[in-house]
Structure 1
Amino acid sequence: MRNVIGINSGYWWGVAFPMIFLGMGQGLIIGPATVAGVAGTSDEIAGAASGVVNTFQQIGGAVGLAFISAMVNGLNGADVIIDQAQFWMVVLAIIMTVAAINILRGKHE
């Protein structure tokens, strides 16, 4: 069976189309995550709380990239590397979704 989206499918299916979803996902999560991070803080520390949220977003991205890079280290062939990297990105996305659902299920004041 032929892959529709992948390294050999051309720019539009392999890059542009997935980037639309990436942009939409970031747009839908970055703002609410920052709002949730500063919710309930006093006006004096709201800027610091926002900075902490943004710092952890940057650290999470770096750690995620390092994890994925470690998982595909030593593989040969660009198509194999990209397929495995995408697999591990989906695994991390599922783990983070489960974590977020569990956080939302907890008690909030």
Structure 2
Amino acid sequence: MFGLFKTKPKNYQNVNVEEFKELKKKSRTVVLDVRTPQEKAEGTVPGAHQINYFNPNFKNQVAKLDKSKTYLVYCRSGNRSKKACAMMGSMGFEKLYNLNGGIMAWNRDN
């Protein structure tokens, strides 16, 4: 009965813009933009690969990614990318980082 209230451990880490920038410098790191193509007008993180979280094929597209790499994931505000990280973690990805505040935080700090 008490087990009903246990939370699942997060399989990703939330990071701020400075931590995101430092992680981005490391090799075998992929920046993943999970926003819609229309949202790119708000700006992008240089070098980001886009996979639209709302695309029905999102999970299939993510499944093709190299699980040995580190993924830095962002969206507009950080909520969608949290969901994307959780999904990726459940698929066996181990090195996942979510940008707190998303592109809005990135734009504010750059």
TM-score range, shorter chain: under 0.3
> RCO (CA 8 Å, sep 6+): is it higher in 1 or 2?
2
Determine which structure has the larger strand proportion and give its number: 2
TM-score, normalised on structure 2? 0.24
The structure whose Rg is larger is 1
TM-score, normalised on structure 1? 0.24
